[in-house]
Amino acid sequence: MKAAIVTGASSGIGLEISKILISRQYKVYGIGRDFKEINLPAEDFIKVPLDLTKSTELVTKIKEIKNSEEIHILINNAGIGYFGPHEELNPQKIHEMVTVNLETPLVLTQLLLRDLKKFRGYIINISSVTAKKSNTHGCAYGATKAGLSSFSDSLYDEVRKYGVKVITIHPDMTKTNFYRNSAFCEGPSEDTYVKPEEIANAVDFILSQREGMVVSEITLKPQKHQIQKR
């Protein structure tokens, strides 16, 4: 059975992507912190409780998985954001964003790339529309996402000749618990945010393409740009 690894799989976008992959007959190794409310079949969804800021534990676990499974898909979805004037952040918050949003995808890709070459697999990075623009009150977060998108572009040029597909998805504001650390959230109506399942549907679309054709980038935006304060 083909296997996939999804980070941030315990809720939101990662959980919805995991459901899509299961429907496509993949065994999903979902990495996350809290799986209390997850009721997916245990044989299809393997819960991997991990703190992504602990790199040594992550590396050890990924090596265990790859030794027993054929990994065809890596979804780098986990992310964290702290917002506000840059001077009001602290070194711990900056470290956490850089580690989870950028370092972890780089490390996971390095660990799995030989396997993904062997199986002509997929690397799908969930970036952000902030990767493409100036981000006042979100400088550090935007920088990590710009780094992830840049990595995707360069990696695709590096590995495309081996059949590996590298895709970047740039979602705009999405209705998840991502903004729990923020003083703002998505607007009140459905035309002000993207739904997690819509990002999962984009992954399904990517996987539906014929061998030899790659949708290298997708941007998803709501019709209206609107946020509200908490």
Q: Is 122 a catalytic residue?
A: no
pLDDT at 24: 98
- Where do the structural domains in the chain lie, given as residue ranges? 2-229
Which residue among the candidates 26, 29, 122, 141 is catalytic per the annotation?
141
Give the pLDDT score at 95: 97
pTM value is: 0.95
SS3 letters for the chain?
CEEEEEECCCCHHHHHHHHHHHHCCCEEEEEECCCCCCCCCCCCEEEEECCCCCHHHHHHHHHHHHHHCEEEEEEECCCCCCCCCHHHCCHHHHHHHHHHHHHHHHHHHHHHHHHHHHCCCEEEEECCHHHHCCCCCCHHHHHHHHHHHHHHHHHHHHHHHHCCEEEEEEECCECCCHHHHCCEEECCCHHHCECHHHHHHHHHHHHCCCCCCCCCEEEECCCCCCEEEC
pLDDT string in tens for the chain (230-residue length): 999 999 999 999 999 999 999 999 999 999 998 898 788 988 999 999 999 999 999 999 999 999 999 999 999 999 999 999 999 999 999 999 999 999 999 999 999 999 999 999 999 999 999 999 999 999 999 999 999 999 999 999 999 999 999 999 999 999 888 877 677 777 889 999 999 999 999 999 999 999 999 999 999 999 998 878 87
pLDDT of residue 177: 81
Architecture per CATH, 2-229: 3-Layer(aba) Sandwich (3.40)
Q: What is the pLDDT of residue 38?
A: 87
